[in-house]
Chains A and B, each alone.
Chain A
Amino acid sequence: MIDPKKLKDTVSFLDAGADSLDFFNLIVAIQEAYGITIPDSDLSQVNTLDKLARYLNARLP
């Protein structure tokens, strides 16, 4: 489980305590919430809060 105290903008979700299942669930939740598909090739672009925010900013209207 992610430890909120360890979750910093540039720290990867996995380094913050998430495991693969948490990350998988995060990707699925983001896709459902924003109606987008995050392709496999983009996964490395969404593995921190900072990268995820930039990724979504670039793709959402």
Chain B
Amino acid sequence: MYEEFILDLPFKGARDYLRLADILPALIELARDRFGPQADVDSLTIRRPFRRGIQVSFEPSVAFSGSFRVRHGRENTPGWLLETERPVTRRIRFDSSLLSAVAVSGPGFAQILEPLPGFTAFDVVVTLMKQVAAQVNRRHWWMCQLNLETPLTGVFPVEVRIRQNLNGQFLLFDIVQAGTAIGSARGILEGVSSQEAIIVPVI
């Protein structure tokens, strides 16, 4: 018998889906409960938007919609995210335009110099990714993967730079915190007609 966990997350602002920045802090909290206070989530991939509750499993599942890895000590433990039938019933106020307004951007990069109350570092990173991605294409980008060499902390400035633009549909970002590259992220341009078919074979 293996353990499964439910992430009780609210929708933020007007969104009707849970995104990477919503899920990651909850996973880190879960990882620390399970593996100890030094545990961290160093990789998170979400393959479709979660519109209902999320179940976390540490056993492989073929029905997963996302995956992650917990680093604890010298060990790494993989985990999987599954979308449940449980509806998301809570919604909290959230306005990322406040972050966008204080971001400083130039060709291929955007940064925020100081923390803004009410926003996590993950909110900042996703907002910056979207701001930089809009330089490539103003359509909606799905931020689907985050890999952290070192944990994202509350230290500023935080900067996101485009490392590679693949075919105008995939973006590889570097995440830089206080001048040091701490990880990377991936974004995929959303399909035109279907929110559900975000990750589609396009090549």
- Contacts from A to B (Cβ < 8 Å): 14, 19-21, 23-25, 27-28, 31, 40, 43-44, 47
Closest to B62 in A: A1
Q: Which residues of chain B are near A21, meaning CB under 8 Å?
A: 45, 47, 144-145, 186, 188, 199
CB neighbours (8 Å) of B170 from chain A are 20, 24
Give chain A residues whose Cβ lies under 8 Å from the Cβ of B166.
24, 27, 40, 43
List, sorted by A's number, 22 A–B pairs whose CB atoms are closer than 8 Å.
Answer: A14-B201, A14-B203, A19-B47, A19-B200, A19-B201, A20-B170, A20-B199, A20-B201, A20-B202, A20-B203, A21-B45, A21-B144, A21-B188, A23-B203, A24-B170, A24-B188, A25-B145, A25-B186, A28-B172, A40-B166, A43-B203, A47-B203
In-complex Cβ contact of A40 among B45, B144, B145, B167 (8 A): B167
- A-B pair count, CB < 8 Å, reads 41
Q: Give Cα A27 to B202, complex, Å.
A: 14
Contact with A along B164-178 (1 / 0, CB 8 A): 101111101000000
Could you say which residues of chain B place their CB within 8 Å of the CB of A47? 203
Q: Flag if B203 contacts A19 (CB, 8 Å).
A: no
| Interface membership of chain B positions 45-63, coded 1 if the CB is closer than 8 angstroms to chain A and 0 otherwise | 1010000000000000000
The 8 closest A-B pairs by CB, nearest first: A14-B201, A24-B170, A40-B167, A19-B199, A20-B199, A43-B203, A20-B202, A21-B199
Which of the listed residues B164, B166, B188 has the most CB atoms from chain A within 10 Å of its own CB?
B166
